Structure 1
Amino acid sequence: MENQVISKAIYLAVLPFENFTPHNELDYFARGFVEDLITDLSRFQNLMLISSHSTLYQSIQGVNLVTDTLGVDYLLKGSFRYRNEQVRVVIQLVDAEKQHIIWAERYDESIETIFEIHDNIIERVVGTLSMRIDMDILSISQKKVITQLEAYDCWLRGFEHLKQGSVEDDQKARTFFQQALKIDSLYARAYTGISLTYFNNWSCQMWDCWETNEKGAFENAVKAIALDENDHISQMVMGRILNYRQEFDQAEHHLDKALTLNPNDADNLVQLSLCYAQIGKAPLGIELFNKALRLNPYHDSWYYAFGILPYFLDKHYLEAIGTGSKAPIQITVDLPGFLAASYAYAGDQQVARRYLNLFVNTFREKIRHGEDCKPVEALEWMLKVTPCKKTEDVEYIIKGIEMAGLHDAGKTVSKHMKADALPERVSHQNVFRKEQDLWEVSFLGQSVLLTEVKGFYDLFTLLLRQREEVHCTELMQSESPADVDEVFDEKAKHNYKKRMQSLQEDLAEAEAMQNYERAETFSRELDQLIEHVTKSIGMGGKTRKLKSPVERSRAAVTLRIRSAIKKISQSHPHLGMHLTNAVKTGTFCTYHPEKEMNWML
């Protein structure tokens, strides 16, 4: 791309914290505290952390030298002071160029508890720090013209528009994300942003463009993860999208990964709280929602729109009401519906009825564009845009709306929410078959041609026998070795044994690192050696006992299948993701998707 400008990284140097009191325990604590800060801050991919070894040497020479020598954008400074059995921790974020303090915080704790709350302080500092840096960059970028922006600036400005929750702001956000891709065509976060603009239209606003927006949300999320599978926001967005596609098991895989990759991003946590409630883990949703509030005490009011569902599904009616009432009532169409159900369960019929009427009227205005409709249609829509994995959660929502005044709604609404209640989805032919020397693979409308690997035959068998357990030896199609008269001398046997042990160690290491291609190479050589030695002398207890034939088949088939899926993922990320979640390997292997899949084989 001509004149391409790659997104500028944000460099942060964490200086060694000063200990103003001669307290050996505290000095040890201060050093460990800084190391933990650096480790947790490194989870934010927009931040480039300068190592503590570099900052230690430079900080001795002075702060100005740190800035000039290391070329950082921000400095994080801190100190510990022990006095009267109390420990005071002071932390400051400094703009390195202007040398002014952007953010500062002070923590006062007793010497007995400072070690106990260490992790809690780290979480609060890390969560707040990243947001303060983003706010600082955003305030600067908003003064620039678009042509002067870098990719990360575009992401921040686009995300600010996404928070507004309107069709107009979604379009403005998409413009910024598209600009980011012009600056950096491989910027995964920009595809995530575009996915979110389609997702908002799909799930909340443009009901009459269901297919277009669903496709746009999904395809851009797939692109984002294909470019960077370690971006926690991209993983969260994919999880949300799969929830709304009602592919809950696959969704949970991405939600868990998002949480593992970064457990301290408050904006991400608050969205995860809603997602986990949808898959039947409302208590975890409540925990993450409260953690987000703690990490970002100056959060926007849109946070509360995500918090009502976890409290509601966990039957904490008053907390659901208190949370939902703090959100702007117009931010989502279904918010008044959940407030109506919450008030109904809490026993306040009058307020419940008022919110129910508001919900139906808002649905008629924003979703049906003023056309007349039956109130039960609003409930059907509500269940579609807030899909829940557990049938009892769906029934619980329906009952709450009935109690709020929409009587006998459950008799009209399909409790299992069949797909025919929505605009019909595009049907795709899924293909997995060999054509001469290549394999034709097609899934959800995307087709690719791939060169052969051994694991494709295993996948073919599993797809053919969907949901059936297939023994690994059947996939391996192994034959018993024939006896031969070849004899080894002791030196040869020793050398073979040594090489096989070395290969087993290499194989174990490759499996642990999930390097399936390398592991398959080791496994293939090991199998050849075992077969050769067995034919020649038999094991007979004379050498170290190796894996049984079944165990060797299990390991070989697992490596073959995982290598094949990895190859597919490189050309067809969505199918690779589907197979990763649906194919289980072991002594028995199976292809077990959430719902029945039709394959042309």
Structure 2
Amino acid sequence: MRMSPIINGFTEDLIINFSKFIGLSVISQYSTQHIADAADTGAISRLGADYIITGTFRALGDNFRIGVQLIRTRDDKVVFASNHDETLEAILNTQDAITQQMVSVLQRQIDHDLLSYSYKKPSVDLAAYENWLLGKHLLKKGTVESDAAAREHFEAALRIDPGFARAYSGISLSYFNEWSCQLWDRWEVSQKGAHEFALRAIELDENDYVSLAVLARTYLYLGDYDKSELFLRKSLRMNPNDADNLIQIAFYLVYLGYAKEGEQLYLRAKTLNPLHPEVYLPYGSFIYFELGDFRKSIVLGEKVKDASVWTDFSAFMAAAYYHLSEWDKMQQYWQKYLTLFAKNINAGKNATDKEALDWQITVNPYKAKSNLEPFWSYMDKNALAPLKSQSSQKIASGSFIRNGELWNLEYANQSVIVKDAKGLHDIAKLLQYPEKQIHCSELMGIILDSPGNKTLDTKAIGDYKKRIRNLQSQMEEAEDVGDGIVYNELREEYESLLAYLSKAMGMGGRARKTGSSLEKARSAVTWRIRTTIKKIEKANPQLGKHLSNSIKTGTFCSYVPESTHNWTI
């Protein structure tokens, strides 16, 4: 089988994509096709190339292994290498993926080398593009001083080339940093500068994808969500392969309510830039936070070594731990946020919880509903004060008390009353015996006669029938008042109970034996405990989250809290 057409296709696609870079010269395929090996240093040196890309195609069973390497010629250093195992049918798609990845890696390496070279040169000799790179590099430091220094480089670029749109984008970003993260007392000045310089950039080049993304940010923070989305998507169309720009677009699409799309762009950015820096981590953490995957958000967030550039990142981490009811961790990250808030926003002065909370609510430009909102509500009720006391004593308390057909539940200074349900009895028993493994049959109220046989006791049957009658009555009431949401929730429980009883009971209402007694008990107990916890969470979110994270269900059920709790049952 001849693979040369595919190899030639790779080469042509790489040349076309590389040729789009500013100031980058790509040697023709006709000048390189005679070089058969990267070890032919003589032929390579005659090309005068700074980098070469070499690759291999090898049969691997029914598939092919494609290997690629990016090599810097001055020291023969392998800057990047990767392998792809694909079928023949998938090779064309792989060709596109490899091309995009190599283009992205090479662009970053060229920019890095150019920066290293530029810092060694007197600033007066720098070209416009080099000045822009230097300014962009300084902006990433996220300090007031680095923003000012970056602005000087962008202004120098404009003196060299007054029509250089990205220099105006850079100035806009320097104001944007002050506006969104640093100089709170210069809000209006910085906001105006960020927006006006972004507009000037677009006037010079309406298709420059960097400038488009910058302008989209300013419209987002101004509350013009439609224009923000318009320019974000145009920036994405102009260049879907710049990993750093994709990260920014992904981030701001989340604010607009497109968290799933943001995740896809984030993953694509990681693929395009496999050597992605740590700066990608907080963006990923933010995206998964808004997707509701709080554990994954925390895993990424804990890898961030320096969160100081993003002032309220620690507050996002506190919110993620809040959703998992990990109160000590929540408090630790909130304190980190207060420290950064005092340094970056409050001129070094300590701030109250409310001041820091109000700033975070103001500065985050959500169009869509955010997973921060329950956390904000919790903090706004001054719940942190009793939480600190709990943390210092390492003991929390609550009550789970039955009064006839009602239960009084108290936790985190919030008391609620809920209707009786079998799941409440299960939970109460687990709370009485922390960390004890209780068999599901003990909670279920059944007797396991022998392996594979089950008998429902009379009391359990009576309880289920009573609950079914109550559900029928409540469903009729919900239907009468037109409450479709409540009706559907009740109907779901009603049908589940009927399905369970139909399997567990024989003719004439007699309990019957089955071939999966243990599994039936395990499934039923798990269902009623989890259903009850969901209902509790609607009435008392803190208690619901605590129970959800602390109660384990299965053949053996248990209550295992992260810290000591005293319960009144």
Q: 1:367 to 1:84 in 2, by over 3 A?
A: closer
Are residue 400 (structure 1) and residue 367 (structure 2) matched?
no
Residue 191 of structure 2: which of 194, 214, 238 is its match?
Answer: 214
- Confirm or deny that 1:294 pairs with 2:294: no
Specify whether residues 276 and 124 from structure 1 end up closer, same or farther in structure 2 by C-alpha distance, changes over 3 A only. same
Output the CA distance in 2 between the equivalents of 1:29 and 1:66.
23
> Which residue number in structure 1 is paired with residue 340 of structure 2?
362
Partner of 1:59: 32
Equivalent of 1:187, from 160, 164, 178? 164
Residue 79 of structure 1 is matched in structure 2 by 55
Displacement of 1:343: 0.5
Kindly provide the CA deviation profile for residues 26-53 of structure 1, in whole angstroms up to 9, marking residues without a partner as x.
22212222233334445x5425464xxx
1:320-331 correspondence to structure 2 within 5 Å: 320-327=297-304, 328-331=306-309
Runs of 4+ that moved beyond 6 A: 61-69
How many Å separate the matches in 2 of 1:270 and 1:28?
35
Quick one: which amino acid aligns to residue 329 of structure 1? A
Matches of residues 460-475 of structure 1 in structure 2 within 5 Å? Answer: none
Q: Which residue of 2 aligns with 1:144?
A: 121
SS of residue paired to 2:28: helix
Say whether the 8 Å CA contact 2:86–2:94 is kept in structure 1.
no
Which residue pairs with 1:539 in the alignment? Answer: none
Structure 1 residues 98-109: aligned runs within 5 Å: 98=74, 100-101=76-77, 103-109=79-85
Equivalent-residue separation in structure 2 for 1:366 and 1:291 (angstroms): 32
Equivalent residue runs for 1:395-474 within 5 Å: 396-403=371-378, 405-407=379-381
- Aligned pairs for 1:199-348 (under 5 A) are 199-327=176-304, 328-348=306-326
Task: Give the TM-score normalised by structure 1.
Answer: 0.58
Cα distance in 2 for partners of 1:241, 1:73 equals: 41
Separation in 2 of the partners of 1:60 and 1:316?
49
The Cα shift of 1:338 comes to 0.6
Give identity over the alignment, percent.
33
Q: Could you give the per-residue CA deviations for residues 51-107 of structure 1, whole angstroms, max 9, x where no partner exists?
A: xxx7133335779899878xx7645433333344454444454567x5855634242
State the Cα deviation string for residues 345-400 of structure 1 (Å, max 9, x = none): 0221111122223223432332122445442222221122211112x22xx31312
Contact 2:11 2:29 in 1 (8 A): no
Does 1:36 find its partner at 2:10? no
Sort the Cα spacing of 1:60 and 1:128 in 2 relative to 1 into closer, same or farther, 3 A.
closer
> How many angstroms does 1:309 deviate by?
2.4
Aligned 1:526-565 pairs, distance under 5 A: none
Distance 1:157 1:244 in 2: 26
Question: How far is 1:157 from its partner?
Answer: 1.4
Please identify, of 281-290 and 115-124, the stretch whose mean Cα deviation from structure 2 is larger: 115-124
Q: 1:348 to 1:150 in 2, by over 3 A?
A: same
Determine which structure has more spread, i.e. the larger CA radius of gyration: 2
1:521 matched residue in structure 2: none
Mapping 1:126-141, distance limit 5 Å? 126-141=103-118
TM-score, length basis structure 2: 0.61
User: What residue is the counterpart of 1:500 in the other structure?
Assistant: none
User: Offset of 1:239 from its aligned partner?
Assistant: 1.1
* Corresponding residue SS for 2:300: helix
Distance (whole Å) between structure 2 residues aligned to residue 194 and residue 102 of structure 1 = 35
Q: Which of the numbers 337, 361, 368 marks the counterpart of 1:383? A: 361
Could you tell me which residue of structure 2 aligns to residue 350 of structure 1? Answer: 328
- Residues 38 and 49 of structure 1 are in contact (CA less than 8 Å); yes or no, is this contact kept in structure 2? no
Residue identity opposite 1:32 in structure 2: G
Structure 1, residues 442-475: CA drift from partner, whole Å, max 9, x if none? xxxxxxxxxxxxxxxxxxxxxxxxxxxxxxxxxx
Q: CA deviation at 1:337?
A: 0.8
Give the Cα separation in 1 of the matches to 2:354 and 2:96.
48
Q: Could you say which residue in structure 2 is the equivalent of 1:570?
A: none
8 A Cα contact 1:45 1:231, kept in partner: no
Q: State yes or no: 1:46 paired with 2:7.
A: no
For 2:367 and 2:121, locate their aligned partners in 1 and report how far apart those are by CA, in whole Å: 45
Relative to structure 1, the CA distance from residue 58 to residue 369 in structure 2 (aligned partners, 3 Å threshold; closer, same or farther) is same
- 1:264-304 per-residue CA deviation (whole Å, 9 max, x = no partner) reads 21111111111110111011111212222222232322222
Contact (CA 8 Å) 1:285, 1:310: kept in 2 or not? yes
Q: Please say if residues 90 and 104 of structure 1, whose CA atoms lie closer than 8 Å, have aligned partners that are also in contact.
A: no
1:548 corresponds to which residue? none
What SS does structure 2 have at the residue aligned with 1:117?
helix
Deviates more, 1:222-231 or 1:112-121: 112-121
Distance 1:175 1:148 in 2: 14
Structure 2 unaligned spans of 5+: 36-40, 384-569
Matched residues in 2 for 1:230 and 1:48: separation? Answer: 20
Amino acid at match of 1:232: Y
The CA distance in 2 between the partners of 1:164 and 1:99, in whole Å, is 30
User: Secondary structure of the equivalent of 1:105?
Assistant: strand
Find the aligned partners of 2:247 and 2:173 in 1 and give their Cα distance.
15
Tell me if structure 2 keeps the 8 A contact 1:201–1:207.
Answer: yes
Q: RMSD value over aligned CA atoms?
A: 2.7
State the 1:116 CA deviation. Answer: 4.4
Distance 1:130 1:182 in 2: 25
Report how many aligned residue pairs link the two structures. 375
In structure 1, C-alpha distance between the alignment counterparts of 2:33 and 2:13, rounded to whole Å: 21
Gaps (5+ residues) in structure 1? 1-22, 410-601
Q: Report SS of the residue matched to 1:263.
A: coil
What residue is the counterpart of 2:148 in the other structure? 171
Partner of 2:206: helix, strand, or coil?
coil
